[in-house]
Amino acid sequence: MSRGLLYSFILHIVFFGGALITSPFDVRKKMDLGDVIKVTIKSMPELKATEPVSISPPATPQAIMTDELPDIPLSDPLTVKEKKKLEEKPKPKKEKKKKAEPQPFKSEEPPEKEIESRTTESGSMFAGATVDNRAFDYPYWFDVAFSKVHSNFRNPVSSDAPIVAVVYFEVIQSGRVVIVKIEESSDIERFDDACVRAIDRSSPFPPLPRSFQDEIIGITLPFMYEPH
């Protein structure tokens, strides 16, 4: 054994021996027993196994029957709304007062004018003839036109009493007749027809004068028959 190992072994023995000798003399800390909680351990009693208890299902609630209620008709909300709309009458609007407009001056003279010509003199066949346009003042035109009608008239009847039929006809600018009809009948059909035929055979009449600005005139012509 070498000296180094020997010295090391001796030093270890000395160290451990000193530690054993000095350890009983260490100052021990005192514990405060006031903070210590005392606990007592007891064994739990043994639990006995119990039989399972059967639980009955809850009772099903039954409907309570009551007296039948009468059917109450429900009004249609759309119908009610429509009725309300119909019942609500619109308020009458106030009419604005219209200002009185000046009315044109009305002539007291009738639109028809009695024709004054040689063929319409008192006692003649066409006495009392009228024209519906007062601006047509051309006696010579009527003399030519009515002379033509007189020559084309053929009386088919004979009577001891006077006979009168009134014919209305219209003449356009060219002199052609466009309308002819019985205005007042004589109550003798053959006499009325003879008056209408006399107008038809006389058409066309002379053209209307160029100085006359309108395009048409209406003539009311009486046919009078007086027995001799």
User: Which two three-digit tokens encode residue 148?
Assistant: 């033509």
d(CA 89, CA 76): 22
Q: How many CB atoms lie within 10 A of CB 131?
A: 22
> Which residue in 226, 227, 228 sits closest to 122, CA to CA?
226
Q: Which residues contact 217 (CB under 8 A, 6 or more apart)?
A: 131, 132, 133, 136, 170, 171, 208
Q: Where are the alpha helices (DSSP H) in 23-167?
A: 77-87, 139-152
User: What number is the average pLDDT over the span 203-207?
Assistant: 96
d(CA 128, CA 116): 9
What's the rounded mean pLDDT across residues 171-179? 96
Q: Is 155 exposed, middle or buried (0-12, 13-18, 19+ CB in 10 A)?
A: middle
* Selected residue with higher pLDDT from 31 and 214: 214
- pLDDT tens per residue, range 35-83: 555 656 666 666 565 566 566 666 665 655 555 555 555 555 555 455 5
**Domains recognised in the chain with CATH numbers:** 113-225 (3.30.1150)
Instruction: State yes or no: pLDDT of 6 exceeds 80.
Output: no
Residue 29: the pLDDT is 47
Predicted pLDDT at 195: 97
pTM over cut 0.85: no
pLDDT digits (tens, 9 = 90+) for 101-145: 656 555 556 678 999 999 999 889 999 999 999 999 999 999 999
What is the rounded average pLDDT of the residues 146-154?
96
Question: What is the rounded average pLDDT for all residues in the chain?
Answer: 78
